[in-house]
Structure 1
């Protein structure tokens, strides 16, 4: 059975060959500018532009918790914007913005796209940075939605972090 591979490195420079999908968690208020998305935007402008357009036009599309948007950034590389965070954390926020049910739903959409593309999936510990989630809650969802379907998954921890 396939297992999750854990490596030290940069999830925006995914290892391996073939089609690769880089997944990360976004919020549901259109905010983009802190956390992992900064590294994404440094490499490619398309995921941020697509996310902002998706949010701006949300009245006529599927934008919302649990949704997933797939943005091709090169012939063999895609970025998956997964909406799994309610709002953003501020100094006065009560609780964390992560929404585990939304991450689970978005992971199901990610799995379908990975199968369609014949892609491997690469990610930081999604939902566990600014969203405030715990990997012990997210990892079983990644296993259930992706690994059990035979999709290779690599999780990146920042080198030296």
Structure 2
């Protein structure tokens, strides 16, 4: 079993059973560009939960590598994974943080196995975060697929 690639919308995951949509967020509390807009068009809960999580970060686990699991419908969850430092490419390079995404994917795997969920995502970390799929794909394989979690990656049409 490997990663399954399909053409389609990751906010409309295919298949049966419990599903978890995974996407990457920044560590600044910003929510307003990229895939998060598609998430917010369908469900207000993930953005509200993320903003509250960031606002209350002194008292919770918010930070690089953390993941927040938000139920949005029957048998459907959204995982807000904090895997990017800031929002812009600058002197320290692109915002994506592979180590943080790897840690967050470990948390996603734990929760997906607990729920009996399959995982659905766009090519996380490769849009505005500036990451390379050639580095992201092995992390997803190691953290999810090798632990027995079914993963579907959606490429828009």
The bucket for the TM-score relative to the shorter chain is over 0.9
Q: Number of paired residues?
A: 156
CA distance in 2, matches of 1:42, 1:75: 18
Deviations 1:3-22 (A, max 9, x none): 10000100000000110000
**Which position in structure 2 is the counterpart of 1:38?**
37
Q: Give the secondary-structure state (helix, strand or coil) at the position aligned to 1:38.
A: helix
Deviations 1:84-126 (A, max 9, x none): 0000016xx2320000000000000000000000000000000
CA distance in 1, matches of 2:10, 2:147: 21
**Which position in structure 1 is the counterpart of 2:123?**
125
**Which position in structure 2 is the counterpart of 1:62?**
61
**Which position in structure 1 is the counterpart of 2:136?**
138
CA distance in 2, matches of 1:49, 1:119: 23
Gaps of 5+ in 1: none
- Check if 1:147 corresponds to 2:149: no
Q: Give the secondary-structure state (helix, strand or coil) at the position aligned to 2:86.
A: coil
Deviations 1:21-75 (A, max 9, x none): 0000000000000000000000000000000000000000000000000000011
CA distance in 2, matches of 1:37, 1:48: 8
- Check if 1:13 corresponds to 2:51: no
Gaps of 5+ in 2: none
CA distance in 2, matches of 1:15, 1:97: 30
CA distance in 2, matches of 1:61, 1:135: 30
Runs of 4 or more, structure 1, over 3 Å off, are none
Q: Give the secondary-structure state (helix, strand or coil) at the position aligned to 1:80.
A: strand
CA distance in 1, matches of 2:16, 2:44: 23
CA distance in 1, matches of 2:53, 2:60: 7
- Check if 1:52 corresponds to 2:15: no
RMSD of aligned Cα (Å)? 0.7
